[in-house]
Amino acid sequence: MIAQPFVYHAPTSVAEAIEILAENPGTSRVIGGGTWVVPECNRDESRPAALVDLRRAGLSGIDVVDGVVCVGATATYSAVMSSPDVARHLPLLAAMASGITGGRQIQSQGTVGGSVVAARPSSDAPAAVAALDATLVVAGPDGERRVTGTGMFADASTSCLREGEILTRLEFTVRPAARWGYYKLKRSASSWPIATAACVLGEQPRLVLGGVSATPVHVDLGSVLAGRPLTPDTIEEAVRRAADSVSTPWEDELAPATYRSAVAGPVARRALEMAAHQEES
């Protein structure tokens, strides 16, 4: 039982959700799938006066529109895993979704958008979404705005969302098929990730580390991988850059900062090697 009384809202449109948030400035929480906000309230770590549940707001779809894969803010991990569009254009996103902790129940309840907004350092989604060069589409009282790259995450557990805003969808431009890799280090099946690495080696190769810092770390690859084959030498250079890019390592009950620094390189290597072993498509 949640100790503090609250008013529950289940808006049926984005406009209605924005209106409710405007009426409860600073005292509301938004629920995507509920797997984080609900237990947080139940532990009395958050005491919102209003809970705004987006489950009926029509944001759960996954579509391809004009060469852009649009993943609705409340699309669940299961929806991502079973979407033929995601399988075809964003296999890294499907791989991330299929490996999350918590079993089929959490895959059916948790949302990629919710995980991005929660922006927890040890979650799977932020780094994968960053590696896929997502655009976050955010709606608020002043209309819609779009956020990309390092702008998506401000700090640990702090996304780019401002007061009164909600995430409506994630957009991914369809690009030619490219090699990709994803590796996650965790202690046990039921553990949160300690470190993740996601890479997409298209025209502009991207390698992003998760869990090792407050926000996803975009590894500066320079010209190491652009237009060049993955060889032991280029992988070695990319791994060195990955290890060097963790300037302020994250620390929590799962692992100390020194450990996270130490595993950044090896985790990057495993993601790159996964990409190297893929067939040319």
Closer to other proteins by CB, 1 or 65: give it: 1
> Largest Cα–Cα distance in the chain?
59
Q: Report the helix count and the strand count for the chain, using DSSP H and E.
A: 10, 14
| Contact between 22 and 35 (Cβ < 8 Å) | no
Q: Residue for token digits 């975009």?
A: 218
Summarize as ranges the residues that interact with other proteins (CB under 8 A). 1-6, 8, 10, 31, 33-35, 38-39, 42-43, 51, 53, 55, 78, 101-106, 108-109, 189-190
Closer to other proteins by CB, 109 or 158: give it: 109
Residue spans of alpha helices (H) in the chain = 14-23, 37-42, 77-82, 84-89, 91-98, 103-109, 112-118, 125-131, 232-244, 257-276
Closer to other proteins by CB, 2 or 156: give it: 2
Smallest gap from Cβ 208 to other proteins, in A, equals 25
The alpha carbon dihedral of 190, 194, 199, 204 has a sign of positive
Smallest gap from Cβ 35 to other proteins, in A, equals 5
Closer to other proteins by CB, 55 or 218: give it: 55
Residue type, 200: V
Closer to other proteins by CB, 98 or 258: give it: 98
Smallest gap from Cβ 31 to other proteins, in A, equals 8
As a whole number of angstroms, the distance between CA 16 and CA 143 comes to 13
Count how many Cα atoms sit within 13 Å of the Cα of residue 191 in the half-sphere of its side chain.
15
- Three-state SS for 52-77 is EEHHHCCCCCEEEECCEEEEECCCEH
Smallest gap from Cβ 97 to other proteins, in A, equals 14
Smallest gap from Cβ 212 to other proteins, in A, equals 24
Closer to other proteins by CB, 77 or 172: give it: 77
Residue type, 119: A
| Contact between 212 and 195 (Cβ < 8 Å) | yes
Smallest gap from Cβ 81 to other proteins, in A, equals 11
